Structures are given as C-alpha cells and as structure tokens.
Amino acid sequence: MRFICKKGVALLFMACVSVLSAQGNESRIGQWWKQLFDRNKVKEVTINIQELTLDENIAVPEIVSPYAARKIRELARDEIKRLQKVKGISVTSERDGEVMKAVIPMESLFLPNDTLLWERAQYSLRPFAKYIARPDMFHMLIVTHSDGTGSAEYNLNLTDRRAQEIRKWFIDNGGAEEMIAIYGCGAEDPVAGNNSIENRRRNRRTDIYIVPGNALIKQAERGKIDF
C-alpha cells in the first residue's frame, strides 16, 4: 500500500510539471525535474592531473570565457608582483598570462646530493602554500632538474625523490594532495651548458607552475574571485 501511495504522488507531480510546461510558464520545480532526468545534459569532466604530462597540465583546464580569463590574468599579475619579492626566486607568466611559473635554485631547497629539504627551504616554499590550500582553486606542478654530472639514472632518481619531498612538504603544510603533480626530469632540460660551475648551478633548479583550477575559473566567470 505504501508503494502505491508513493507512486501515485509521483504521477501527480509529473502531471503538474507537464501542465506547467505546456502553459509556457515552467516553474522552478519543473526546471529542476527536467534537469534531474535529462540524460543528454553535459556533465562536468573532472581532470586527474596526476595522469597528465607537464605540457597537458599547463594547458588545462581551458578558460573559455574572455571575461574570466581577464580576471584571472589580473590576479596572476598581482600574485607575480608578490612572489617577486621573495629572495632568490624568479617568476614569470605563461599561457598568455594565465599561468604563473617560479624558478627556485636547488641550493635554496637541498644540500648537495641530498633528498631531504633543509631547514631554510621553508622560506622559498611557504609563499606558494596558499595556492593549494583550497581544492581546485589552483593546480601546482613541481618540476625538478639536475645538472649533467652523474649518470642519467642517478639524476632521474635524485630529481624524482626531491620532487616527492617538496610535494610532501606542501601536503604536510595544508596543501590538497590531489592538486599537486610532480615531475623529476633529471638533466634532460638544461637552461645552460654544463661546462662551468655557474651553468651547472643554473641547471639545478625547481620549477613551480601555478595553474588556475575549475573553482577559480567559476569564480572569475561570476566576476568575484575570493582568494
């Protein structure tokens, strides 16, 4: 009996929605009902940044709205000015000003050949912690590099362990782990030749990319960024 009663209520509800729709004056309940059972509606795709390459992660998610893109570029400009005040860090923008890229010398984070962050590393890392404190506001890409000394296997292992250590620091300090992707590149992407002490120092570095997430993009589309 209880099942029959519920079924009757549902049929009555659907009949009312149909009448309202036919009258061209669809109520909010009717709109909700249509959305609930519309199997053709587009569902938001969740991006797993752990599965993407570095280039793919820099490119997504795409900001479709020109207005939202402008708001995010304005925010990025302000944040770059703030980060440029941190000693030893260089900061630029990519993807037409939507993505921030910071370069941190490796000696600011690790002692030679070590894979544990030393005590002074927090001064270089802490300015970035705010970007991943709230899920999907930003994505953080951590890319570690070595110089050309040592074997390729050693350098890849060294940079991978260092990238993991940096990621752990951010998670331990309140970062959302699903918003952080890491890449240990060894000596594969030098910025200078390995023919001098200074050039090798330049090649030993950590790149941190700060990429807008879906939550930030939605706020920008509404015209008010809460960050």
DSSP 141-206: EEEEE--S-S-HHHHHHHHHHHHHHHHHHHHHTT--GGGEEEEE-TTSS-SS-SSSHHHHHHHSEE
Q: Is the pLDDT of residue 99 over 60?
A: yes
pLDDT of 47:
78
Q: Running DSSP on this structure, what letter comes out for residue 150?
A: S
**pTM of the predicted model as reported, rounded to 2 decimal places:** 0.81
Interval 113-172: pLDDT, tens: 999 999 999 999 999 999 999 999 999 999 999 999 999 999 999 999 999 999 999 999
Interval 51-88: pLDDT, tens: 999 999 999 999 999 999 999 999 999 999 999 999 99
Between the alpha carbon of residue 199 and those of residues 159, 190, 206, the distances in Å are 18, 9, 15
User: Beta strand 138-145 with 205-212: parallel, antiparallel or unpaired?
Assistant: antiparallel
Interval 175-219: pLDDT, tens: 999 999 999 999 999 999 999 999 999 999 999 999 999 999 999
